[in-house]
Chain A
Amino acid sequence: GESVGLHLPTLSVQEGDNSIINCAYSNSASDYFIWYKQESGKGPQFIIDIRSNMDKRQGQRVTVLLNKTVKHLSLQIAATQPGDSAVYFCAENIDQAGTALIFGKGTTLSVSS
């Protein structure tokens, strides 16, 4: 079924600002979460993932926060750049081999110089 509801469909920020993109998931059994970036004409590209035994994970300029109590996931992008402009999706699944990802609705991030 369709998961993930609460989100802003678009987010506009200035270059250099920090961006926060939110996602809510509905399946309490989900234990693996991924953020994807999708640019126009391309397939989704992996950004960062997190498993349910963690509440925070950091990558290069990106941080994912997981709040299992309220079933909420966020992606923070530090010092946002024009190249970060894209649609961002969260995806979830039960961390078992062979299970498909279920995607949220997506947020369009626009970064202006």
Chain B
Amino acid sequence: SAVISQKPSRDICQRGTSLTIQCQVDSQVTMMFWYRQQPGQSLTLIATANQGSEATYESGFVIDKFPISRPNLTFSTLTVSNMSPEDSSIYLCSVETRSYGYTFGSGTRLTVV
């Protein structure tokens, strides 16, 4: 499958600060997807990131809170801005490739204190 490197794997952050999560893929992909997984819950799609255009956000998620960059076909970042304890979750990136279908990174476990 496509290999996804996601960093950091975990972090503990102070409320009011921001964290940028990086997602690096070992092959060029058109679309990258960002998900949030709250404790004990399923994955919820935050946004879809297409290289060269603004990300498309799902209902309940806004660009000011979760800005996304997609500078090239192998890399994306998700920033969680002005964090509160409610933002404590696992954040995952995912890609779709023709050969391997959908692949997920191992996630970033964020705790906001």
Chain A positions near chain B (C-beta within 8 angstroms) = 1-2, 34, 36, 41-46, 49, 89, 91, 97-98, 100-106
Which chain B residues lie closer than 8 Å to A42 at the CB level? 106-107
Main secondary structure on chain B at its contact with chain A? strand
Known contacts A43-B92, A46-B1; is-contact A100 B104 (Cβ 8 Å): no
Chain A residues with Cβ under 8 A from B48's Cβ?
Answer: 98, 100
Nearest-CB distance from A31 to chain B (Å)? Answer: 14
Which of chain A's residues have a CB closer than 8 A to the CB of B42?
89, 103-106
Where chain A touches its partner, the secondary structure class is loop
CA distance A105 to B41 in the complex (A): 7
Shortest CB-to-CB span from B105 to chain A, Å, is 5
Chain A residue with Cβ nearest B45? A100
- Provide the residues of chain B in CB contact with A46, threshold 8 Å: 1, 101-103
Contact B106 A49 (CB under 8 A): no
- Selected contact of A44 from candidates B6, B104, B109, CB within 8 Å: B104
**Minimum Cβ distance to chain B for residue A37 (Å):** 11
Residue of B nearest to A9 (CB): B40
Min CB distance B76 to A, Å, is 14
Bound CA–CA A43/B33 (angstroms): 13
User: Are A98 and B30 within 8 A (Cβ)?
Assistant: yes
Residues of A within 8 A of B94 (CB): 100-101
Nearest B-chain residue to A104, judged by Cβ: B42
B96 within 8 A of A: yes
Task: Give chain B interface residues in 9-49, CB to chain A under 8 Å.
Answer: 30-31, 33, 35, 41-45, 48
Is the CB–CB distance between B31 and A98 below 8 Å? Answer: yes
Interface centre among A45, A46, A91, A101 (most CB of B within 10 A): A101
In the complex, 12 of the A-B residue pairs with CB atoms within 8 angstroms, ordered by the A residue number, are: A36-B104, A41-B106, A43-B4, A46-B103, A89-B42, A98-B31, A98-B48, A100-B31, A100-B33, A100-B48, A101-B33, A105-B42
